[in-house]
Amino acid sequence: MIQTRRSFIKTGGVTVAGTMILPPLLHSCRNIQLSPDLKSFLDHFEVTPQMLQKVISAAMAKGGDYADLFFEHKISNTLALEDGKVNRAYSNVDYGMGVRVLKGDQTGFAYTENISQQDMLKVAKTAANIASDPMTFNQGESLEKIPPNYYKISQKWENVSVEDKIPYVQKINDRVFEMDEKVTKVNASLADETAYVMFYNSEGMFTYDYRPLASFRVRCVMEQDGQIENGSSARSFRKGFEWLSDDLVDEIAQEAIDRTNILFGATKPLAGEMPVVLGAGGSGILLHEAMGHAFEADFNRKKTSIFSDKLGKSIAKDFINIIEDGTLENNRGSINIDDEGNDVKKIYLVKDGVLDSYIHDRISSNFYGVDPTGNGRRESFRHVPLPRMRCTYMESGPHSREDIISSVDYGVYVDNFSNGQVNIGAGDFTFFVKSGYLIEKGELTQPIKDINIIGNGPQALADITMAAGDYKTDNGTWMCGKGGQSVPVTMGLPTVLVKKLTVGGISA
């Protein structure tokens, strides 16, 4: 019996979680054997291998070098609380497929929200127009790539009712109010997302992925002696409903309270150039934005990145190691396969201070003559893949947090960023710091808030003179924007000392 997409949501994909693993199957196009996992995904999208081969042939009909098909079915739900009650709920279903054709480094792309053979052939012919040398494409043998599973779960979100989720959103509201009498308002939300992805290309490769994602957020407003401040906290993982617990509620609620309380009585430092200590965890946003994007291979291939001629050269102190990893268990930025069907890897961008690798997709890896790194990502089936980060972090260093702070005579310690702007080419950045501390004579003293940090990413990387052994991942709800697309990411950092950055503050 053919399993429909609707019934698959409730009963299918069981083997994707790892209860049945079969070896990859090589087979001819005329007699295709299917593993249970692949068959469930084909049935989910109500297509057959023969249909996909016809679409690929149409995509390659004008002489393209390569073509791929990307199928996606995404189910999203959000519950929101305001004024003490869960009073808003949103749901969305996104469904469709995209066809990409490559000719050299040029891309032809089209998508459809209707997965019939007629509609798929139509968009395939549109994408094929990137080439202009009509040919007959002969599909060779096909290979099923069985992906790993970096996000094992036990309770799928699509099997959980709204009634089961509401108590956790209500609990975090109640806990924040219980923790501090200064709280006047709470906003909270719980979002879950399930995506079914299937991939097929002109090289005959089939693969697939089941991608859960959950995000839990809270924001509180507090008032003290007429002063009003607000702070927030969030966690996001590729986990199932089993992730929610009273301990998680307490952790997020306490962090929101602490981040708000620090703002009462906070001041601003003297403006100027000074040492800046970046706290472990959330300061990784500066690493991601001001440095990570400049490592993406498309910017380097086009020579718009300042690192385009630095591969193999020293760009930081020899204790600096920067990693880009899509294999971390249950991490928000992890993926079992990238959106080009490539294996996902852990790579060193910077190894012992030397630029060791760029962040690659298929186009850039072909250009540089290296293997793809598993960083080809797209927002949805409506978009082409680009070299994108997943989880970007710096490994722990040889120093201690205490030694780093005690080495600063006058400077700032920052660990809570809210937004910023970066010029990818030159690497110049401005970040807005929500909160931190003044450092005076080697000690954290006065809380500070609402300041700007201004600098240059490559120079800041070169100016990291100390790194502590206290690495921390920031598991917040970070989204990375590039080329009009957004994808979920994470980041992390140990406590590090940047020798000098420009800090916005008060005049002397």
The encoded tokens of residue 113 equal: 């929200």
3-class DSSP state of 83: coil
Distance of CA 482 to the CA centre of its chain: 12
The contacts of residue 118 (CB under 8 Å, 6+ apart) are none
- Which three-class secondary structure string do you get for 251-273? HHHHHHHHHHHCCCCCECCECEE
Torsion sign (Cα): 145, 146, 148, 154? positive
Beta-strand pair 346-351/354-355: antiparallel
Which architecture, in CATH terms, is 5-215?
2-Layer Sandwich (3.30)
Residues in the chain: 508
* Angle at CA of residue 383, ends 155 and 291, nearest 5°: 85
C-alpha distance from residue 73 to each of 9, 31, 168 (Å): 10, 27, 27
The encoded tokens of residue 293 equal: 């994007």
**DSSP state at residue 291:** I
Task: Please give the pLDDT value at position 290.
Answer: 86
Task: Please give the pLDDT value at position 508.
Answer: 65
pTM metric for this prediction: 0.91
Task: Please give the pLDDT value at position 149.
Answer: 96
Q: State how far the Cα of 154 lies from the Cα of 36, in Å rounded to an integer.
A: 20
Instruction: Show the low-confidence residues of the chain (pLDDT under 70).
Output: 1-32, 508
Domain boundaries, the chain: 5-215, 272-503
- pLDDT, tens digit, 9 for 90 and up, residues 187-228: 999 999 999 999 999 999 999 999 999 999 999 999 999 999
Q: State how far the Cα of 47 lies from the Cα of 42, in Å rounded to an integer.
A: 5
Q: Say which residue the tokens 């073509």 belong to.
A: 67
Alpha helices (runs of H) in 326-435, residue ranges in sequence order: 362-368, 401-406
The encoded tokens of residue 421 equal: 């702007």
